[in-house]
Structure 1
Amino acid sequence: MFNGRKLSALATAAATPTLSRRQFVLGASLLGSALLVGCRMQADDSDAPAPSGAIKPSAGSPFEAYIAIAADGIVTVYSSQFDMGQNSYHGLATLVAEELDVALDKVRVEGRAGNPKWYGNLAMGGAFQLTGGSSSMPSSWERYRKAGAAARELLKQAAAKQWQVAIGELSTANGEVVHAGSDRRAPYGSLIAAAAPLPVPGEVALKDAKAWTLIGKDATTRIDARAKSDGTQAYTIDIRLPGMLVATVAHSPRFGGKVASFDATAAKAVPGVVDVVQISRGVAVVANNTWAAIKGREALQVTWDDSGAETRSSDAMFTEYEALSKQDGKVALQRGDAAGKLAKAAKTLEATYRFPYLAHAALEPLNAVIHKDGDRLHIHGGLQMPDAVQAACAQIAGVKPEQVDLHVMKTGGGFGRRAVADCDVFVEATEIAKALDFRAPIKLQWTREADMGGGRYRPLHLHRVRVGLGADGSISGWQHHIVGQSIMAGTPFEAMMMKDGIDPTSTEGVADTPYALPDIDVRMTHPASPVPVLWWRSVGHTHTAYVMQTMLDEIATATGQDPVALRLALLPADARERAVLSLVAEKAGWSQPVAAGRFRGVAVHQSFGSYVATVAEISKTADGGIRVERCVVASDCGTVINPDVVRAQIEGGTGFGLSAMLGEAIALENGAPTARNYDAYRVLRIDAMPTVEVHMLPSTASPTGIGECAVPPIGPAVANAIFQATGKRVRDLPLLKA
Structure 2
Amino acid sequence: MLNHLDHPDMPRALQHMLARSQPNAHAATMPRRSFLKLAGVSGLALGAFPHLALAQGASADSALKPTQQPSAFVQIAPNGEVTVTINRLEFGQGVQTALPMILAEELDADWSLVRSRHGSSDPAYVDPMWGIHLTGGSNSIKHSFTQYRELGARARAMLLSAAATRWHVDVATLRTQSGTVIGPGGLKLGYGELAEAAMALPVPEKVVLKDPKDFRLIGQPTNRLDAKAKSSGRQDFGIDTHLPGQLTAVVAHPPVFGARIASLDDSAARAIKGVKAVLRVPLDRGAEGVAVVADGYWPAKLGRDALKVQWDSAKLEKVDSEKQLAQYRELAKQPGPRQFDADMAPLATAPKRIDAEFIFPYLAHAPMEPLNCTVQLSEGKADLWIGTQFPGVDGAAAARVLGLKPEQVSMHVQMAGGGFGRRAVGSSDYVVEACEIAKAARGAGLNVPVRMVWSREDDIKGGYYRPMHLHRARIGFDARGRVLAWDHVLVGQSITAGTPFEGGMVKNGIDATAVEGMRDPYALPMRLTVHHPKVNVPVLWWRSVGSTHTAFVMETLIDEIARATKQDPVAYRLALFGDKHPRHRAALQLAVDKSGYGKKRLPAGRAWGVAVHESFESVVAYVVEASAKKGTPVLHRVTAGVHCNLVVNPRTVEAQVQGAALMGLSMCLPGAAITLKDGEVQQSNFGDFAVPRITDMPEVAVHTVPSADPPTGMGEPGLPPLAPAFANAIAKLTGKPVRQLPFNLA
Mapping for residues 512-661 of structure 1, pairs under 5 Å: 513-517=520-524, 519-575=525-581, 576-592=583-599, 594-597=601-604, 598-621=606-629, 623-661=630-668
Residues 374 and 425 of structure 1, relative CA distance in 2, 3 Å threshold: same
Structure 2 residue aligned with 1:96: 103
Deviation at 1:644, TM superposition (A): 0.4
Instruction: Give secondary structure in 2 for the equivalent of 1:523.
Output: strand
Instruction: Give secondary structure in 2 for the equivalent of 1:662.
Output: coil
Q: Is the 8 A contact 2:256 2:679 kept in 1?
A: yes
Q: Is the 8 A contact 1:368 1:426 kept in 2?
A: yes
Q: Deviations over 1:636-658 (max 9, x none)?
A: 01100000010000001000101
Aligned equivalents of 1:616, 1:676: Cα separation in 2: 32
Structure 1 residue aligned with 2:407: 402
Instruction: Give secondary structure in 2 for the equivalent of 1:694.
Output: strand
Q: Is the 8 A contact 2:364 2:674 kept in 1?
A: yes
2:87 to 80, 88, 99: 80
Aligned equivalents of 2:268, 2:368: Cα separation in 1: 31
Q: Is the 8 A contact 1:81 1:130 kept in 2?
A: yes
Deviation at 1:454, TM superposition (A): 0.6
1:721 to 721, 729, 732: 729
1:348 to 342, 353, 358: 353
Q: Deviations over 1:534-570 (max 9, x none)?
A: 1000001000000000000110111111111111111
Aligned equivalents of 2:255, 2:745: Cα separation in 1: 23
Matched, 1:474 2:482: yes
Structure 1 residue aligned with 2:50: 57
Q: Is the 8 A contact 2:45 2:76 kept in 1?
A: no
Instruction: Give secondary structure in 1 for the equivalent of 2:88.
Output: coil
Aligned equivalents of 1:427, 1:620: Cα separation in 2: 47
The letter of the residue matching 1:389 is D
1:142 to 138, 143, 146: 146
Instruction: Give secondary structure in 2 for the equivalent of 1:323.
Output: helix
Structure 1 residue aligned with 2:694: 686
Matched, 1:700 2:708: yes
Deviation at 1:367, TM superposition (A): 0.3
Aligned equivalents of 2:242, 2:179: Cα separation in 1: 36
Structure 2 residue aligned with 1:265: 267
Structure 2 residue aligned with 1:427: 432
Structure 1 residue aligned with 2:286: none
Range with greater deviation from structure 2 (595-604 or 546-555) = 595-604
Q: Is the 8 A contact 1:256 1:310 kept in 2?
A: no
1:360 to 351, 362, 365: 365
Structure 2 residue aligned with 1:121: 127
The letter of the residue matching 1:202 is E
Aligned equivalents of 2:176, 2:40: Cα separation in 1: 34
Q: Aligned-pair RMSD on alpha carbons? A: 2.2
Residues 499 and 385 of structure 1, relative CA distance in 2, 3 Å threshold: same
Matched, 1:10 2:21: yes
Deviation at 1:60, TM superposition (A): 2.4
Aligned equivalents of 1:373, 1:364: Cα separation in 2: 28
Instruction: Give secondary structure in 2 for the equivalent of 1:661.
Output: coil
Instruction: Give secondary structure in 2 for the equivalent of 1:468.
Output: strand
1:305 to 277, 298, 312: 312
Aligned equivalents of 2:309, 2:145: Cα separation in 1: 51
Structure 1 residue aligned with 2:255: 253
Q: Is the 8 A contact 1:542 1:711 kept in 2?
A: yes
The letter of the residue matching 1:65 is A
Aligned equivalents of 1:162, 1:135: Cα separation in 2: 41
Aligned equivalents of 1:47, 1:348: Cα separation in 2: 73
How many pairs were matched up? 706
Deviation at 1:425, TM superposition (A): 1.3
The letter of the residue matching 2:55 is G
1:274 to 273, 276, 301: 276
Residues 75 and 264 of structure 1, relative CA distance in 2, 3 Å threshold: same
Deviation at 1:296, TM superposition (A): 0.8
Deviation at 1:687, TM superposition (A): 0.6
The letter of the residue matching 1:207 is K
2:205 to 202, 207, 213: 202
Instruction: Give secondary structure in 2 for the equivalent of 1:721.
Output: helix
Residues 593 and 225 of structure 1, relative CA distance in 2, 3 Å threshold: closer
Structure 1 residue aligned with 2:464: 456
Matched, 1:186 2:189: yes
Per the normalisation by structure 2, the TM-score is 0.91
Q: Is the 8 A contact 1:93 1:104 kept in 2?
A: no
Q: Is the 8 A contact 2:370 2:453 kept in 1?
A: yes
Mapping for residues 23-38 of structure 1, pairs under 5 Å: none
Q: Deviations over 1:52-80 (max 9, x none)?
A: 89745115233332222222222121211
Structure 2 residue aligned with 1:29: none
Residues 254 and 18 of structure 1, relative CA distance in 2, 3 Å threshold: closer
Structure 2 residue aligned with 1:326: 333
Aligned equivalents of 2:261, 2:299: Cα separation in 1: 22
Q: Is the 8 A contact 1:18 1:56 kept in 2?
A: no
Q: Is the 8 A contact 1:329 1:481 kept in 2?
A: no
Q: Is the 8 A contact 1:368 1:381 kept in 2?
A: yes
Residues 53 and 251 of structure 1, relative CA distance in 2, 3 Å threshold: farther
Deviation at 1:104, TM superposition (A): 2.4
Matched, 1:151 2:161: no
Deviation at 1:516, TM superposition (A): 1.5
Q: Is the 8 A contact 1:458 1:534 kept in 2?
A: yes
Range with greater deviation from structure 2 (422-431 or 470-479) = 470-479
1:677 to 673, 680, 685: 685
Aligned equivalents of 1:268, 1:421: Cα separation in 2: 34
Deviation at 1:51, TM superposition (A): 7.7
Per the normalisation by structure 1, the TM-score is 0.92
Range with greater deviation from structure 2 (347-356 or 578-587) = 578-587
Residues 692 and 49 of structure 1, relative CA distance in 2, 3 Å threshold: closer
1:497 to 505, 509, 516: 505
Instruction: Give secondary structure in 1 for the equivalent of 2:668.
Output: helix
Aligned equivalents of 1:140, 1:320: Cα separation in 2: 45
The letter of the residue matching 1:465 is A
Deviation at 1:736, TM superposition (A): 5.5
The letter of the residue matching 1:189 is G
Q: Which consecutive residues of structure 1, in runs of 5 or more, have no partner in the other structure?
A: 25-42
Q: Is the 8 A contact 2:394 2:431 kept in 1?
A: yes
Matched, 1:214 2:217: yes
Aligned equivalents of 1:48, 1:615: Cα separation in 2: 52
Instruction: Give secondary structure in 2 for the equivalent of 1:581.
Output: helix
Instruction: Give secondary structure in 1 for the equivalent of 2:24.
Output: coil
The letter of the residue matching 2:131 is A
The letter of the residue matching 2:20 is A
Aligned equivalents of 1:4, 1:165: Cα separation in 2: 50
Aligned equivalents of 2:703, 2:91: Cα separation in 1: 24
Structure 1 residue aligned with 2:422: 417
Residues 53 and 272 of structure 1, relative CA distance in 2, 3 Å threshold: farther
Deviation at 1:572, TM superposition (A): 4.0
Residues 53 and 178 of structure 1, relative CA distance in 2, 3 Å threshold: closer
The letter of the residue matching 1:573 is D
Aligned equivalents of 2:26, 2:403: Cα separation in 1: 15
The letter of the residue matching 2:322 is D
Instruction: Give secondary structure in 1 for the equivalent of 2:729.
Output: helix
The letter of the residue matching 2:296 is N
Residues 630 and 48 of structure 1, relative CA distance in 2, 3 Å threshold: closer
The letter of the residue matching 2:690 is R
Range with greater deviation from structure 2 (263-272 or 355-364) = 263-272
Mapping for residues 437-456 of structure 1, pairs under 5 Å: 437=442, 439-456=447-464
Q: Deviations over 1:416-462 (max 9, x none)?
A: 00000111111111101111226111000001101101111100000
